Structures are given as C-alpha cells and as structure tokens.
Amino acid sequence: MIGGRVQAVGFRLFTAEVARREGVVGYVRNLPDGRVEAMVEGTPGAVERFERAVRQGPPGARVASIEAESPSPSGEFTEFRVRS
C-alpha cells in the first residue's frame, strides 16, 4: 500500500510506465481511503528498481509511506494493468 498524495496526480499511469520499463507484471489501483495498492511480480532486481521509482512518484505526488510484502510469485499475471 502506498500512502500520501498519490491520487489525482497521475500516480497509477506513472506506476504503469515504470512497470513496463522494468518488465514487472501485476496491477495498480486506487483505494477508497486515498491510498494506492500495487501488486508486482518480476525478478528481484526489477522489483527493487520499481519500488525505488514508486517511492519518488510523479511530479505532484508526495509518497508518505509504503507497506511492502514479499510473497512468493503467484504466476497469475501476464502483464501490468491499471485498475480503477
């Protein structure tokens, strides 16, 4: 979960661009409480680069917190999607 000023600032599209660049799969979506949820799978290096970029966010965003988990890859994702 990603908290801070992360909605209405292009955060999901930014996240999708980073995911494509790093070659990770999964999804990103807004949550009703104002946070953003991102689920990603990929090589450890790609996931680390993804997380580092998302911590910065796009211009206008202010990432205040990230709660990260490292579950085993599910294999259910074949691409990265922006969900509503």
Residues involved in catalysis: 12, 30
Sign, CA torsion 11/12/15/20: negative
CA count, 13 A, side-chain hemisphere, 31: 13
